[in-house]
């Protein structure tokens, strides 16, 4: 989050605020005004980026709130702990939350902001690829509960999203690849052009070449923003973002969250391509193309052998996106096209088809 760096991509999308993208520090100061800043980050990211940010903006250490790294911190418990600490520290309605980290910090920090004194503004500073191109865009915030992931939350648009690509250099490679899975998903639901761009730039991306990363983040923030702006409350086109996620979430749950979300989405996209081909919604060649795309980025394309297809199918039914028990998939009709646009992009899949596709993907 240093000012004036060429490598810094700024995504400024507040309707009111549109500072010059070349001056990041100025943009933050303009948005922050005289607000009192609370920095929220996790134990990995706070020392790397949170503390330097706090120092730069004169935020005291006691106004920096650190959670343990990982999904297990995205809880109401941590939400209470942070909001209580903010209350104890005398944060008022003039607070500004700056959430610096991956999607966990963004979701939790955003939810703190959405609820603190009925809502204070938030600046999202995503430091994982997944958070840069996905989680920080769209205004969804929230926490997990014992009943499932993301079940309590709120829509809360950030004032500003700042992504410093250099942060990706310290990200564990597996986390980077997991973020690329969402990029593959974006490309597959958008166009052949986007898919070709990704595949052509695979080597440069793997090498963390900054100009290529900048293009990646720009393109994919735009893809997500376009979908989200078209559909603020998930009535229709936002569902296309769910491609690969019905099976993906089920695999993730079956792994007891030991597999990364992006890895599970990669597998989910291949299985769902197989489902679409089997239902004759998509050409048979789609399966190979999706699989090749996933494998180009070193992502898994097969279901771990120990997971039984029947169990995965059962797990899809507890996904919150099911409607009255009916699971709706976002299936590809082809690259760049999601099936059943007229029906809100949802397709129900016969159990037998899902089971066959799962079996073929082991």
Query: Does the annotation count 186 as an active-site position?
Result: no
Give the active site residue among 10, 78, 157, 182: 182
Q: How far is the CB of 350 from ligand NAD (least distance, A)?
A: 29
Query: Does the annotation count 261 as an active-site position?
Result: yes
Tell me: does residue 234 bind ligand NAD (CB under 6 A). no
12 touches 19 (CB < 8 A): yes
Tell me: does residue 296 bind ligand NAD (CB under 6 A). no
Nearest of 126, 138, 146 to residue 74 by alpha carbon? 146
Tell me: does residue 127 bind ligand NAD (CB under 6 A). yes
- Distance, CA of 153 to CA of 293 (rounded, Å): 33
Task: Pull the structure tokens for residue 87.
Answer: 């209350």
Give the active site residue among 242, 263, 274, 289: 242
Tell me: does residue 170 bind ligand NAD (CB under 6 A). yes
CB nearer ligand NAD, residue 127 or residue 291: 127
Tell me: does residue 309 bind ligand NAD (CB under 6 A). no
Tell me: does residue 310 bind ligand NAD (CB under 6 A). no
Query: Does the annotation count 89 as an active-site position?
Result: no
CB nearer ligand NAD, residue 136 or residue 361: 136
- Distance, CA of 259 to CA of 236 (rounded, Å): 29
Task: Pull the structure tokens for residue 251.
Answer: 């695999």
Query: Does the annotation count 224 as an active-site position?
Result: yes
**DSSP per-residue codes, 159-188:** SEEEEEGGGGGGS-HHHHHHHHHHHHHHHH
Query: Does the annotation count 239 as an active-site position?
Result: no
99 touches 72 (CB < 8 A): no
Handedness of CA 116, 119, 121, 122 (dihedral sign): positive
Applying CB under 6 A, the site for ligand NAD has a residue count of 29
Give the active site residue among 185, 186, 220, 238: 238
Q: Residue 60's Cα: distance from chain center in Å?
A: 30
HSE toward the beta carbon, residue 119, CA cutoff 13 A? 9
Tell me: does residue 134 bind ligand NAD (CB under 6 A). yes
3-state class (DSSP) for residue 55: helix
Tell me: does residue 255 bind ligand NAD (CB under 6 A). no
Tell me: does residue 71 bind ligand NAD (CB under 6 A). yes
Tell me: does residue 130 bind ligand NAD (CB under 6 A). yes
CB under 8 Å to 313, separation ≥6 — which residues? 250, 351, 354, 355, 358
Tell me: does residue 117 bind ligand NAD (CB under 6 A). no
Crossing angle (nearest 10°) for helices 309-316 and 245-254 = 110
Kindly provide the residue ranges of all beta strands, DSSP E only, lying in the chain, ordered along the sequence.
8-11, 36-42, 64-67, 95-101, 122-126, 140-145, 148-155, 160-164, 328-329, 332-334, 337-338, 347-348
Q: According to CB under 6 A, which one of 35, 140, 238, 245 is a site residue for ligand NAD? A: 140
Query: Does the annotation count 118 as an active-site position?
Result: yes
Q: How far is the CB of 347 from ligand NAD (least distance, A)?
A: 22
Residues 23-62: x/- map of binding to ligand NAD (CB under 6 A)? -------------------x-xx--x--------------
Q: Which residues bind ligand NAD (CB under 6 A)?
A: 42, 44-45, 48, 69-71, 74, 101-105, 107, 127-128, 130-131, 134-135, 138, 140, 149-150, 167, 170-171, 175, 261
Write out the catalytic residue numbers: 118, 140, 182, 224, 234, 238, 242, 245, 249, 261
């Amino acid at each position: 989050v240093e000012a004036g760096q060429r490598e810094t991509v700024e995504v400024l999308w507040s309707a009111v605020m549109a500072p010059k993208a070349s001056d990041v520090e100025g943009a933050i100061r303009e948005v922050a005004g005289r607000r009192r800043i609370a920095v929220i980050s996790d134990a990995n990211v706070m020392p790397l980026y949170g503390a330097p940010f706090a120092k730069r903006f004169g935020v005291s250490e006691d106004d920096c709130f650190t959670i343990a790294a990982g999904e297990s911190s995205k809880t109401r418990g941590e939400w209470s702990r942070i909001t209580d600490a903010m209350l104890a520290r005398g944060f008022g309605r003039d607070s500004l939350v700056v959430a610096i980290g991956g999607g966990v910090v963004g979701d939790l920090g955003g939810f703190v902001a959405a609820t603190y004194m009925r809502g204070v503004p938030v600046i999202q500073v995503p430091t994982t690829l997944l958070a840069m191109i996905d989680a920080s865009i769209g205004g969804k915030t929230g926490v997990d509960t014992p009943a499932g992931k993301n079940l309590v939350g709120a829509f809360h648009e950030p004032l500003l999203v700042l992504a410093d690509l250099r942060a990706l250099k310290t990200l564990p490679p597996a986390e980077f690849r997991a973020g690329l899975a969402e990029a593959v998903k974006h490309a597959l639901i958008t166009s052949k052009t986007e898919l070709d761009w990704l595949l052509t730039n695979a080597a440069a991306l793997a090498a963390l070449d900054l100009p290529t990363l900048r293009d990646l983040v720009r393109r994919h923030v735009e893809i997500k923003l376009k979908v989200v702006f078209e559909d603020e409350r998930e009535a229709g086109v936002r569902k296309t973002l769910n491609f690969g996620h019905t099976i993906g979430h089920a695999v993730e749950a079956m792994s007891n969250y030991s597999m990364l979300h992006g890895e599970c989405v990669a597998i989910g996209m291949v299985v769902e391509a197989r489902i679409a081909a089997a239902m004759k919604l998509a050409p048979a060649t789609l399966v190979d193309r999706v699989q090749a795309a996933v494998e180009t980025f070193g992502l898994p394309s097969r279901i771990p052998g120990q997971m039984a297809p029947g169990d995965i199918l059962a797990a899809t039914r507890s996904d919150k996106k099911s409607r009255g028990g009916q699971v709706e998939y976002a299936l590809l009709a082809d690259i760049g096209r999601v099936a059943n646009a007229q029906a809100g992009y949802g397709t129900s899949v016969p159990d037998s088809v899902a089971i066959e596709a799962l079996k073929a993907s082991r």
